Structure 1
Amino acid sequence: MCRILIVEDQPLIALCLEEAVIELGYKPAGMAPNKSKALSLGANADVALVDVNLLDGPTGPEIGKSLAENDVSVVFMTANPEQLGSGIPGTLGVISKPLLDIEMVQAIQYAVDRHENRIAACPKRMIEFA
């Protein structure tokens, strides 16, 4: 069963993401509001949904890069996609917040499919990184 890490400092958003993960039949690998917690939980994750700006500042890109280097499939979810420039090496892409429930589900499923090496169409509102 795919384990999904939620890196988000806003508790309500993190809980909504966790609920979506569970409803889709996947296992939450934990919730992290900052870099240290995210990296400590990253060893138990297959996929990570990562916000850019967290409690400890704009550490999301560093988190995403580090997780991707450890074979975690990373999708950024942020209200500020321009902060990622042309992308973070090894990560899948970014989707802009706020998200509709269906967009959240599509982003999660896309990341899982890519992690499991299945062909997956990039969700419409997601910017895929090369």
Structure 2
Amino acid sequence: MKVMIVEDEGLIALELERIAQDAGHQTLGPVSTIEQALAYAQKSDVALVDLSLSDGFSGAQLARRLIDRYGVDVIFVTGSPENVGNGIEGALDIIPKPFTDDRIAGALSRAQALRRDFDGSNAVL
């Protein structure tokens, strides 16, 4: 699965990238602006999205576009889960910081299972 990392803090972005790759996923990014994220949107299956982006937009604003326009699944990874607000509709999960490897890998595994079910590749004949 192709996982886009949208995080404005470099060390956290690298940690999310490592966790996703260790779980067997291909990563795109990391990116820190809405423009950069939208450039990867068509190539992504799921996005790990922080609420704070370096260009002043919110991760919730980005999530709405990713979900509605591109069909990208969104998992919020944030230090302020109570501030997700509008944009939470359609998000698969909200993971508070600090996070664990298992929490991120588990959310990605659930996203992958949902994608398989939606695509019909788990269909029983």
TM-score category by the smaller chain?
Answer: 0.7 to 0.9
Q: Can you list the C-alpha shifts for 1:108-128, whole angstroms capped at 9, x where unaligned?
A: 22222223227xxxxxxxxxx
Paired with 1:80 and 1:73, the residues of 2 have a C-alpha distance of 20
Quote the sequence identity (%). 36
Q: What secondary structure does 2:75 align onto?
A: strand
> Distance in 1 between the 2:27 and 2:111 partners?
14
In 2, the alpha carbon distance for the partners of 1:58 and 1:67 equals 14
Q: What is the CA-CA distance between 1:93 and the residue it aligns to?
A: 2.5
User: What letter matches 1:71 in structure 2?
Assistant: G
More helix by share: 2
State the one-letter code of the partner of 2:103: E
- How many residue pairs match? The answer is 117
Match of 2:71 in 1: 71
Q: What is the match of residue 43 of structure 1?
A: 42
Which residue is equivalent to 1:90?
Answer: 90
What letter matches 2:13 in structure 1? A
Name the residue aligned to 2:122.
Answer: none
> Deviation digits for residues 18-51 of structure 1, max 9, x if unmatched?
1111111111122111111111111110010000
Unaligned runs of 5+ in 2: 119-125
Counterpart Cα distance in 1 of 2:110 and 2:84 = 19
- Give yes or no for contact 1:73–1:114 (8 Å, CA) kept in 2: no
Over aligned residues, Cα RMSD in angstroms? 1.7
| Cα contact 2:20–2:27 (8 A) shared by 1 | yes
Partner of 2:102: 102
Following the alignment from structure 1 to structure 2, what is the Cα–Cα distance between the partners of residues 74 and 110?
12
Q: Secondary structure at the match of 1:106?
A: helix
Counterpart CA distance in 1 for 2:107 and 2:56 is 24
Specify the SS of the correspondent of 1:95.
Answer: strand
How many Å separate the matches in 2 of 1:82 and 1:58? Answer: 17
Would you identify which runs of 4 or more consecutive aligned residues in structure 1 move more than 3 Å? none
